[in-house]
Amino acid sequence: MFDAYGTLLDLGFITRKAEQAFPGRGAELSALWRDKQLNYTWLRTISGNYADFATVTADALDYSIERLGLAAPRQKRDDLLAAYWSLPSFPEVPAALLDLRNKGVRLGILSNGTPAMLEAALQSSGLAGLFDDVLSVDAAGCYKTARAAYQLGPDRLGMPPGRILFVSSNSWDISGATWFGYHTYWVNRGKHPPERLGTSPHASGETLKDLATLFA
């Protein structure tokens, strides 16, 4: 089971689009936008006030634009939101996934994204058709790291979490999945230190190519 955003799909695309829209401010905007997006998912989950990922993503962008004092015509704002529906994959991802499939590994996605967002991004990235299961937390009405969100995987596969490998580049997601009971693989693209949350991934590497080597 793979996380999607930042693991399979390259969010650097968002930064590049933000820089085109706001020269010299793109990195700042995209970083704040991503932080608020995640913060809103956690706050809504804790409070029980769920709104889908498309709504959360738009709200986080609107906040970030206003917070940074950017003059944002409606078209720029809409173009940035549309970028989430047309994300590319990281360069090594298609070949690594195909290698895993050829080795008989069942592949799935468990993502905060809405079904429509995931379908569009998988089409745009060329990853459509590589997955046996594409699961959105919409079905649980809460976001990762809530246990109900992670439970979607065992429910779909009909097996305990300890028999499922959960793969993410987001260290907070790895911590939540490990607490839940998944075996976990951290794709540490940024070479970051581990979180201080009393848990560790079962294995890690820098790209999905490193993951594929585990299934020799």
Which residues are known catalytic residues? 3
> Can you tell me the distance from the alpha carbon of 77 to that of 189, in angstroms, rounded to the nearest whole number?
28
Q: Token pair of 189, please?
A: 């693209």
Backbone angles phi, psi at 63, to 5 degrees: -60, -45
Q: Among candidates 189, 171, 199, 133, which has minimal Cα distance to 1?
A: 133
Contact by Cβ (8 Å): 87, 11: yes
Please identify which residue in the block is written with the tokens 């720029």: 76
CA distances to 119, 141, 187 from 135, in Å: 11, 12, 20
DSSP string, 72-116: --HHHHHHHHHHTTSPPBPTTHHHHHHHHHHTT---EEEESS-HH
- What are the CB-based long-range contacts (under 8 Å, 24+) for 172-179? 172/38, 172/145, 173/3, 173/144, 173/145, 174/201, 175/145, 175/199, 176/144, 176/145, 176/150, 177/144, 177/145, 177/150, 178/202, 179/145
